[in-house]
Structure 1
Amino acid sequence: MAPEQEPKGYRWDIITAEELKYAPPYFQDVPETTTEVECKLSGTWPKWLHGSFLRVGVGRFTVPTSEDDSTPRVIIQHLFDGLALLHKFRMTDGRVYYMSRYTSNGITRAAQRDGYVKNSWVGPNPNTPLFEAQDPCSKLLGARQTVFLPHDSIEPDALNVHVQPRRGMHLPEDKNPNSRGVKAEDPATQEILVHTDWNCMQICDAKTLEPKRLLSHAVIDPELAGTGCCAHPVHDRKRGTTYNYLIDAAGIMYIFALDVVANPARLLWKSALPCKPCYTHALAMTDKYVVFVRNPVILDLSDPSKTLVEAMVCEHDSPVYFYVLDKADGKVIASYQVPNFYFFHTANAYDYVDPKTGHTNVHVDIASYKAEHYPYHEYAISNVINPLKPYQTGRLVRYELSAVNTRDPGVVVRGTVKAAIPDMMAELPRISKAASMDPNYRFVYGVSGNGISAPGTDVPIGRLGNGVDMPHASFYGHLFKSDWRTGTFKAWVPQNGESCPTEPIFIQRPGATEEDDGIVITITINKEGTNSILVGLDGRTFEEVARADMPQVYALGPHGSFVEGDFGVVSRMGREGE
């Protein structure tokens, strides 16, 4: 079978403002809450829970193209393209405080000036109705470009960066005249670093959430110039390093290591990979190794008029390659392949000594999709509102790479499937921080039940059904807690018509001796779709113990992080000399 570009079985048409009215409130433009408010609580939030829960999502799906709104608004066409809204829940002494802020207002300002929206589009180009209605010589020809690469002097909110928020790190001196605020004395407590699938990072103030700076990894080191990057660079807390990949201008794919404890952060090593460029959303690592899993999706950015999904060519006949690199120097030490699958996220990885052979094996746990799936089209808004078929289902699979310490890296050997959690759809897998890279870890938390109905909800997504004549109210119907030791799982299903539970974040209780001794936090949407609720689940029983009402409906978004301690208490947004 040849590489496939055209979506099959998904709606991939441009929806109008009128059609968007069929979408639930959380697919409309939602407000921001820029002043911190205390949430109304029920149940008991543990007093040991002290820190900030950061989430980034999409909150705006319409963009004005004039200051007086006299021209048609651009309608965002893909869930991944909605404009970013950054959320922060501050938790202390059994109380919960909430605030949020849009971090991509520069896109709106530019659209009001230019008459179209300039961004990098994953899904259908939302400017299409505008330039199709215009004279071919009009300025809207610029709206045909769908891949926007940031330049050195870009404003801090002029790009849509909305995948993974983390605590900040020391960065080189900022020479961009359009940046805002001042350099943080302690970025780990004063700044938020937001990653995306581009070679671009956004710095936001941890107290106010206001964007301060946009930069690429090339600012850290010129050797890191390139385009594609991993939205989930893996972070080794013990060594103070992170690992990521990039694709350079010549189309060569590299893995690189950063010392993020240094002031400023610095490049440790950069190693070329022996494979064609691809789109890979997440890396994996063990205590000794970085594992790059080559997603069989070519990323061809040669035509700037193609959207990112159109530039992704799925290789349905290609194996999936695993490249194992030594953390010490970045050298590739072993290469493996397994039968074709696709993935967004890894759950964990670890190395261990096989007691039978005495060699070092590596296990990589991944939420993987079957080869026949084309997992990047179904999040188009047209398909969300009226899907042609049920959503894809992934499985949590453990891949084994045997005897990595004995291999010739130039010889690709066969990897194997060591284990799986059967009968459970799995996505957005998360674990305890303490369980990272631990060969004895057991528990994975994630979302499940993709596309199922949410009984009792007043706002089903599908107008006509999802291919099985059943309207649904969420991408994900419930959460799971799986156990590698037993191969079983528990489910938590929202009650009372609530829907759309988000990626669960596990926070371990200080001093805990059991891996699942802690709390799991997620966000659900109420029956009416008008506001969201932060929900806390006991990590062991997986039952609800507390909730906090948000003042607004949460904009749907995939990822979050919990930062322990007094995060964002001190702001450094003031300009130099003020």
Structure 2
Amino acid sequence: MAAESAILSPNAITRSADDEQEDLEAAIRNAVDGAYLNWPNEAGFTNLDEHRGPIELPVRGQIPSWVTGTLFRTGPGANKVDNTSSGSLHISHWFDGLAHTHRFDIIAGEDGVGTTVWYSSRRQCDSFIEHAQKNGMRDIITFGQRADPCIGLFGKIMSTWVVANTRRKTKKAENIGVTVQLDVPGLASAARSGALSHKTVWLGTDCHLLRDYINVNIRAGLPATYKIFRVSAATGETEILATISRLDVPMAYIHSFFLSQHFVVLRVPSSHISLDGLSILWKRNVLDAMKPFDRSRKTKWFIIDRLRGHGVVAEFETEAAFFFHTVNCFDKMHLDIQDDVEKWSISCDTIEYPNMNILRGLYYDVVLDQDGKARTVWGTEDQARGTLPRLTRWKFTLPLHHRNPSQGRRSLVSTLHDRLKALAARACRKGEELGQKIRQKEDTVVAVFRGLPAMAFSVLKPRLTFQQVPVQEGLQGERNDDRIYEGTGTKITDRKAIFTAELTRTISIPSPHVGELPTINPAYHTRAYHYVYSLAMSGRSTLMDTIVKTDLVSRAVLQWNNPLGHTPGEAIFVQRPGGVEEDDGVLLSVVLDGFSGKSYLLCLDARTMCEMGRAAMDFAVGFGFHGVHAPNLAVAITSEEESGESDKK
């Protein structure tokens, strides 16, 4: 693919595992020395307008014709609401910026070689703005909006009463702009009943990808309740996979979780919310309701069977940490030669932080360095070191069944039956691996978020397969306590576990060799893989400052050699049709030139990390969170809209 690249920028920068520590220390020095003062970001946060268009964008270089389709991007737009009863309302935190969705229609030329790109955008929060203008923010719970100093104790009591006892009449007054999703399962019946519109693009607050809709719902209370559920893509029916409600598992801010072919892995980080979420009612935002970071509050992990209804099958603890995004998760069944028993190994890759400093680092006055506020987050070596992420792989090893099944209640007949099932499972697994190699790419969907009291965070896109390796009954050990592990088909065995589950950290790659908003080739979700693409933080900006490709096997890094002040957004991988290699495709990223105040859609060769082409804009596009590329959606939606216009006439 590199041969057809129209390289518009210098060759990528190459780094190796030997450079990791040196580059990390350089990033810390950059931050402490204030290198970000020379990297303008303001245009990505302020004076951002709608462009309903569509507007044709001039293309420089070459965007391959097989990239045709629609790229949706969403995230915060403007950070101010004008004309409220008290003047202009300034939004404090980036996560609360006014939701703004962007659409790039990439259309192949008639000759099948070139492409044209059309752009349009629209705010997703008109009703929210209208509500804030009329009523202010007293009945709105945000992520990090700072309190109005004019509101006294009496006002806080009144507003807490309102939130606790009433709901707004319409859900339209929501400000949701974190993820984009297509064809959410279970919504068809609602659409037929008139509860939903005909539109198929949805917004949410999570970041991951699956066809069956697997998600986590977190309910505040003493104790908090975590429900892991699945919505069938085929029937739209919902099934509860597990319910966790324990005093030692507090409510936490969670943005994503892990999913492999056979397990759901819920990681509860150390971002605990006081009073198991109830404090949000009077704190008015999630960030202020969080407890201060405490290294004694361990991260908890729950391994949940997603196929046979066994509920929670294992639990682990690791040191205190925080994370936004998972990268990938994959499992494998193998034979432990020493114990002569089959075991599961589950690998969970995540971008994590040693503390929660990054949450404070995303206030607007920090990212824009207003009144020198950036130094409150990046000003010392310890602060900078704690605010930079790293990629970590946690590997869990679980027994598949007991070593001596004849003990206890297990009979010889049931033992032979399990052996035969295990042999059949191996054959199924081989067939499944073959099927994966020829499976076409799947659509990308993410979950809908509806209300803080029942937080729904992150979805992954499960693969549809005809056969799966079963999880054996003996995977679960005896529990001699009163902890609640409820769920559809949950079964707690009465036999003691013979094997102790193992936990190891097998990979740890620091910034800037890896960064935030990680993406991979979607065909490798729930599979072993080599490459992750992410936005590195090298201390040159108060946000991310370049795109890196990280080889998780060799730990080699290719970095896009972007000009100073060019800030990229999440890099969406689009695979070349018929491509065999994992990195055979392109990356699409919306980039802001901070000096000119204008953005462009960048197309990078995913193998070489060199620029192939770009579509330029005469205005800035706000820094966003997540996006999705929908092949051929441009043509489909255009036809639908034309049909709708004909009906009106």
TM-score clears 0.5: yes
> Structure 1 stretch 559-568 or stretch 400-409: which is displaced more?
400-409
Give 1:152 shift.
Answer: 7.5
| Aligned residue number for residue 98 of structure 1 | 119
Give 1:47 shift.
Answer: 0.4
Distance 1:106 1:241, change over 3 A: closer
Distance 1:90 1:150, change over 3 A: farther
Question: Residues 64 and 111 of structure 1 are in contact (CA less than 8 Å); yes or no, is this contact kept in structure 2?
Answer: no
For 1:474-501, what per-residue CA distance to the aligned partner results, in whole angstroms no more than 9, with x for missing partners?
5011111111121221111322x34221
The 5 Å alignment of 1:69-88 reads 71-88=86-103
| Aligned residue number for residue 278 of structure 2 | 302
Question: Residues 292 and 322 of structure 1 are in contact (CA less than 8 Å); yes or no, is this contact kept in structure 2?
Answer: yes
Give the counterpart of 1:267 among 238, 260, 264.
238
Give the counterpart of 1:111 among 126, 132, 140.
132
Question: In 2, distance between residues paired with 1:166 and 1:331?
Answer: 27
> Structure 1 stretch 103-112 or stretch 413-422: which is displaced more?
413-422
Give 1:564 shift.
Answer: 2.1
Question: In 1, distance between residues paired with 2:47 and 2:305?
Answer: 46
For 1:231-272, what per-residue CA distance to the aligned partner results, in whole angstroms no more than 9, with x for missing partners?
23552x4xx343333225554332333334245x22122411
Question: Residues 100 and 124 of structure 2 are in contact (CA less than 8 Å); yes or no, is this contact kept in structure 1?
Answer: yes
Give the counterpart of 1:485 among 532, 550, 553.
553
Question: Residues 298 and 320 of structure 2 are in contact (CA less than 8 Å); yes or no, is this contact kept in structure 1?
Answer: yes
Give 1:510 shift.
Answer: 1.2
Q: Which amino acid aligns with 1:344?
A: F
Question: Residues 68 and 632 of structure 2 are in contact (CA less than 8 Å); yes or no, is this contact kept in structure 1?
Answer: yes
Question: Residues 334 and 409 of structure 1 are in contact (CA less than 8 Å); yes or no, is this contact kept in structure 2?
Answer: no
Q: Which runs of 5+ in 2 are unaligned?
A: 1-39, 109-114, 379-383, 401-474, 480-496
Give the counterpart of 1:416 among 496, 504, 517.
504
| Aligned residue number for residue 459 of structure 1 | none
Distance 1:145 1:494, change over 3 A: farther
User: Is it true that 1:195 corresponds to 2:204 in the alignment?
Assistant: yes
Question: In 2, distance between residues paired with 1:500 and 1:108?
Answer: 28
Q: Secondary structure of the residue that 1:354 maps to in structure 2? A: strand
Question: In 2, distance between residues paired with 1:318 and 1:71?
Answer: 41
For 1:518-543, what per-residue CA distance to the aligned partner results, in whole angstroms no more than 9, with x for missing partners?
00111211142521111011011111
Question: In 1, distance between residues paired with 2:179 and 2:165?
Answer: 19
| Aligned residue number for residue 13 of structure 2 | none
| Aligned residue number for residue 319 of structure 1 | 298
Q: CA RMSD in A?
A: 3.2
Question: In 1, distance between residues paired with 2:562 and 2:161?
Answer: 41
Give 1:92 shift.
Answer: 2.0
Q: Secondary structure of the residue that 1:92 maps to in structure 2? A: strand
Question: In 2, distance between residues paired with 1:175 and 1:491?
Answer: 45
Question: In 2, distance between residues paired with 1:113 and 1:341?
Answer: 40
Q: Secondary structure of the residue that 2:144 maps to in structure 1? A: coil
Question: In 1, distance between residues paired with 2:644 and 2:165?
Answer: 26
For 1:37-93, what per-residue CA distance to the aligned partner results, in whole angstroms no more than 9, with x for missing partners?
111111100101122111111111111244xxx842011111111110011111121
Q: Which amino acid aligns with 2:71?
A: F
Question: In 1, distance between residues paired with 2:644 and 2:146?
Answer: 35
Question: Residues 333 and 409 of structure 1 are in contact (CA less than 8 Å); yes or no, is this contact kept in structure 2?
Answer: no
Q: Which amino acid aligns with 2:129?
A: T
Q: Secondary structure of the residue that 2:374 maps to in structure 1? A: coil
User: Is it true that 1:438 corresponds to 2:418 in the alignment?
Assistant: no
Question: In 2, distance between residues paired with 1:148 and 1:35?
Answer: 42
User: Is it true that 1:279 corresponds to 2:253 in the alignment?
Assistant: yes
Question: Residues 125 and 146 of structure 1 are in contact (CA less than 8 Å); yes or no, is this contact kept in structure 2?
Answer: no
User: Is it true that 1:333 corresponds to 2:313 in the alignment?
Assistant: yes
Q: Secondary structure of the residue that 1:476 maps to in structure 2? A: coil
Distance 1:172 1:142, change over 3 A: farther
Give the counterpart of 2:62 among 44, 49, 69.
44
Question: Residues 514 and 550 of structure 2 are in contact (CA less than 8 Å); yes or no, is this contact kept in structure 1?
Answer: no
Question: In 1, distance between residues paired with 2:231 and 2:395?
Answer: 29
Q: How many equivalent pairs are there?
A: 479
Q: Which amino acid aligns with 1:382?
A: D
Q: TM-score, normalised by structure 2?
A: 0.68
| Aligned residue number for residue 242 of structure 1 | 214
| Aligned residue number for residue 227 of structure 2 | 255
Question: In 2, distance between residues paired with 1:23 and 1:536?
Answer: 21
User: Is it true that 1:387 corresponds to 2:364 in the alignment?
Assistant: no
| Aligned residue number for residue 353 of structure 2 | 369
Question: In 2, distance between residues paired with 1:538 and 1:491?
Answer: 12
For 1:194-232, what per-residue CA distance to the aligned partner results, in whole angstroms no more than 9, with x for missing partners?
112xxxxxxxxxxxxxxxxxxxxxxxxxxxxxxxxxx23
Question: In 2, distance between residues paired with 1:437 and 1:504?
Answer: 19
Distance 1:561 1:107, change over 3 A: same
Give 1:559 shift.
Answer: 1.2
| Aligned residue number for residue 564 of structure 1 | 631
Give 1:383 shift.
Answer: 2.1
| Aligned residue number for residue 472 of structure 2 | none
Distance 1:85 1:118, change over 3 A: farther
Q: Which runs of 5+ in 1 are unaligned?
A: 1-21, 185-189, 197-230, 454-471
Question: In 2, distance between residues paired with 1:30 and 1:252?
Answer: 39
Distance 1:330 1:81, change over 3 A: farther
Q: Which amino acid aligns with 2:299?
A: V
Question: Residues 359 and 404 of structure 1 are in contact (CA less than 8 Å); yes or no, is this contact kept in structure 2?
Answer: yes
Question: In 2, distance between residues paired with 1:234 and 1:23?
Answer: 30
User: Is it true that 1:59 corresponds to 2:77 in the alignment?
Assistant: yes
For 1:1-35, what per-residue CA distance to the aligned partner results, in whole angstroms no more than 9, with x for missing partners?
xxxxxxxxxxxxxxxxxxxxx97222213001112
Give 1:315 shift.
Answer: 3.6
Give 1:321 shift.
Answer: 1.8
The 5 Å alignment of 1:95-174 reads 95-116=116-137, 118-125=139-146, 128-131=148-151, 151=167, 153-156=169-172, 158-169=173-184, 170-171=186-187, 174=190
Question: In 2, distance between residues paired with 1:433 and 1:76?
Answer: 35
Give the counterpart of 1:448 among 536, 541, 552.
536
Give 1:404 shift.
Answer: 5.2
More helix by share: 2
Give 1:550 shift.
Answer: 2.6
Question: In 2, distance between residues paired with 1:360 and 1:73?
Answer: 56
Give 1:509 shift.
Answer: 0.9
Q: Which amino acid aligns with 2:127?
A: G
Distance 1:526 1:577, change over 3 A: closer
Question: Residues 296 and 318 of structure 1 are in contact (CA less than 8 Å); yes or no, is this contact kept in structure 2?
Answer: yes
Give 1:288 shift.
Answer: 0.6
Give 1:112 shift.
Answer: 2.3
Question: In 1, distance between residues paired with 2:97 and 2:59?
Answer: 30
Question: Residues 297 and 315 of structure 1 are in contact (CA less than 8 Å); yes or no, is this contact kept in structure 2?
Answer: no
Give the counterpart of 1:540 among 607, 625, 628.
607
Question: Residues 394 and 506 of structure 2 are in contact (CA less than 8 Å); yes or no, is this contact kept in structure 1?
Answer: yes
Q: Secondary structure of the residue that 2:130 maps to in structure 1? A: helix
Question: In 2, distance between residues paired with 1:500 and 1:105?
Answer: 28
Question: Residues 338 and 414 of structure 1 are in contact (CA less than 8 Å); yes or no, is this contact kept in structure 2?
Answer: no
Distance 1:131 1:401, change over 3 A: same
Question: In 2, distance between residues paired with 1:30 and 1:149?
Answer: 36
Q: Which amino acid aligns with 2:207?
A: H
Q: Which amino acid aligns with 2:397?
A: S
